[in-house]
Structure 1
Amino acid sequence: MKAEALLFGGVAVFFGGCGALYGVWSGDPAGTAALVVAFGMAALVSFFCATQYVRRGQRPQDRTDAEVADAAGPLEFFPPHSRWPVITAFGSAVTATGVVYGLWLFLIGAGLLGLGIFGLVFQYVDRGSGQED
């Protein structure tokens, strides 16, 4: 993840520099805000990749002497099926519709969206408990 962290870090530096120069020279708040948001998103991805690199170390993809067999085997746990992505998507749609039609629908959608996100985050919170290391 070191290469990805450096790549997105470079993108963040680019957008940060462009945002600063654009804000000073143009005085346009909308374009400056868009560049600042782009900087923030790239910096967030860079931070995540750097944190994963520090926690997990080098992957086989990061080494030049790695073989294909080094990356074989299970990578992560991927759930086979879950209802929470559907609830989250429906909550997002109702929340966006609530922006147009009124606060009451927005609040219902925000509740559904919060429920879906909560379910996604905590659906496998007890996975692995009861196993001896």
Structure 2
Amino acid sequence: MKIQGRMFIWLAVFILAMAIVYGVWSKEPVGTTALFLAFGLSIMIGYYLAFTARRVDTGAQDNKEADVADDAGELGFFSPHSWQPLSLAIGGALAFLGIIFGWWLLYFSLPVILVGLFGWVFEYYHGVNRTQ
């Protein structure tokens, strides 16, 4: 995490320099504001990563002698046969199409999104007092 923190802090310094040059050269407020906001976001992420790196153990990415397999581990549990992401994708696509073609399409996309979200959250829930 030390490397990532340094990278974001150096990125923030670069973006700050570019924001100053862009602001002086172009005198355009929107792009200058966007660059200063990008500087702020980069410095926040860099500070967080650098601060967290001091509090946690050294990771494999900070060890120059580490292999790729040293950082491998369990990534989490993923449902192998879940149809809920498809439902969410269809509902999300309909919602974005509603922004393009008309807000009335959101009335059709919201139930699809809610059914997909409900199904995904409670996919493995069987209840505490469920009888066989």
Q: Give the TM-score normalised by the residue count of structure 1.
A: 0.56
Report 1:1-133 matches (<5 A): 1-36=1-36, 38-40=38-40, 42-43=42-43, 45-47=45-47, 49-50=49-50, 52-54=52-54, 56-64=56-64, 66-68=65-67, 71=70, 74-81=73-80, 82-83=82-83, 85-106=85-106
After TM superposition, give the deviation of residue 111 of structure 1 in Å. Answer: 7.5
Which structure has the bigger radius of gyration? 2
Structure ranking higher on relative contact order (CA contacts 8 Å, 6+ apart)? 2
One-letter code of the match for 2:63? R
Q: Distance in 2 between matches of 1:28 and 1:111?
A: 43
Structural RMSD (CA): 4.2
Work out the CA distance in 1 between the residues paired with 2:105 and 2:10: 41
- State the AA in 1 paired with 2:73: P
Does the CA-based 8 Å contact 1:60-1:70 persist in structure 2? no
Cα 1:36/1:87, change in 2 over 3 Å: farther
C-alpha separation between the residues in 2 aligned to 1:44 and 1:115? 37
d(CA) in 1 for partners of 2:76, 2:51: 20
> TM-score, with normalisation over the residues of structure 2?
0.56
The amino acid that maps onto 1:102 is G
Q: Which runs of 5+ in 2 are unaligned?
A: 126-132
Deviations 1:60-101 (A, max 9, x none): 22123x454981662432424455544444344233222222
Q: 1:2: Cα distance to partner?
A: 0.9
